[in-house]
């Protein structure tokens, strides 16, 4: 399979501040890669370099075999981009916004209504965008990024601060796009979203990738698996017991739990991506 995205030592600095520091990674065609990191980690700056909006200070980005700086327009014709801040024409309807984009991209046989159905905006297509809520605007932004049937889709924090229905709609569209064969580059600081959607996740912190693997492998490598049991004490109160799996003493501990305790509930636990992020970087995803 061809590499859809190659980031080769990508670096960017705002004056003295190095926002992205010699970042290397590759994304295969049809893959969903998420950049997971707290505010200010360098996610948006990376997306801007990948999509030709910022020129790297060092290194380069190659999309579908084309150098982004040298062939910006050809690259941009093949990609869809959705940023956090809505930049829609508020006075125009949703359909007009989409049709305008289709015209700019020279897309023939464009069906705005069908695209609006996909993002759950059917019935609202003729309404002016200024009447939309934040979630509806974001769904329209996602729709707009799909107008040119992009081979690579860049979504910068697409569900940030949205209601659950809008978030779920957007996640479903992302999965459908992968089904269609598109490559997806997603940034988020939502570990559940990264876990659910991504084939691989890159942890980004202070402009550097500190880990990159499948969610499963990250959990295997850095996480600890455990079972948690609620046991009833003699006075009737419940106590929580945790047994770490993958220890030499695990089998004995489990046997002891069942022979010597009155087990009320039991469930297995695995590390979350946030647990692992904290373990690697010493800080959480919230800020």
Q: Which residues bind ligand ATP (CB under 6 A)?
A: 14, 17, 19, 37, 39-45, 189
CB of 41 to ligand ATP, least distance (A): 4
CA distance 242 to 254: 10
The residue (of 6 and 202) whose beta carbon lies closer to ligand ATP is 202
CA distance 164 to 120: 13
CB of 43 to ligand ATP, least distance (A): 3
Q: What is the CA radius of gyration of the chain?
A: 23
CB of 287 to ligand ATP, least distance (A): 9
The residue (of 71 and 84) whose beta carbon lies closer to ligand ATP is 84
Greatest extent of the chain over all pairs of C-alpha atoms, in Å: 75
Token readout for 27 is 């994304």
The residue (of 38 and 266) whose beta carbon lies closer to ligand ATP is 38
DSSP state of 264: E
CB of 205 to ligand ATP, least distance (A): 9
Strands 183-188 and 32-36: parallel
CB of 175 to ligand ATP, least distance (A): 23
Phi, psi at 248, each rounded to 5°: -60, -30
The residue (of 48 and 151) whose beta carbon lies closer to ligand ATP is 48
The residue (of 42 and 56) whose beta carbon lies closer to ligand ATP is 42
Query: Is 200 within 8 Å of 193 (Cβ atoms)?
Result: no
């Amino acid at each position: 399979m061809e590499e859809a995205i190659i980031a080769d030592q990508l670096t960017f600095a705002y004056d003295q501040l190095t926002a992205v520091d010699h970042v290397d990674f590759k994304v295969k065609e049809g893959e969903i890669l998420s950049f997971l990191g707290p505010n200010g980690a360098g996610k948006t700056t990376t997306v801007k370099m990948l999509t030709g909006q910022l020129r790297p200070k060092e290194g380069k980005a190659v999309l579908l075999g084309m150098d982004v700086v040298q062939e910006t327009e050809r690259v941009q014709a093949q990609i869809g981009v959705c940023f956090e801040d809505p930049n829609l024409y508020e006075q125009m309807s949703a359909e007009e916004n989409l049709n305008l984009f289709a015209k700019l991209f020279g897309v023939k046989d464009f069906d705005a209504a069908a695209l609006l159905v996909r993002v759950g905006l059917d019935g609202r297509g003729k309404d002016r965008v200024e009447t939309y809520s934040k979630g509806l605007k974001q769904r329209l932004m996602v729709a707009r990024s799909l107008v040119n049937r992009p081979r690579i889709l860049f979504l910068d924090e697409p569900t940030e601060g949205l209601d659950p229905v809008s978030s779920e709609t957007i996640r479903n569209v992302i999965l459908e796009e992968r089904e269609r064969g598109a490559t997806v580059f997603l940034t988020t600081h939502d570990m559940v979203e990264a876990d659910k959607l991504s084939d691989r996740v890159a942890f980004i912190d202070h402009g550097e990738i500190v880990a990159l693997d499948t969610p499963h492998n990250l959990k295997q490598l850095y996480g600890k698996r455990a079972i948690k049991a609620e046991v009833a004490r003699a006075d009737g109160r419940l106590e929580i017991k945790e047994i770490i799996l993958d220890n030499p003493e695990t089998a004995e501990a489990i046997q002891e739990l069942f022979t010597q305790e009155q087990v009320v509930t039991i469930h297995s636990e695995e590390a979350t991506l946030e647990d692992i992020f904290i373990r690697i970087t010493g800080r959480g995803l919230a800020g």
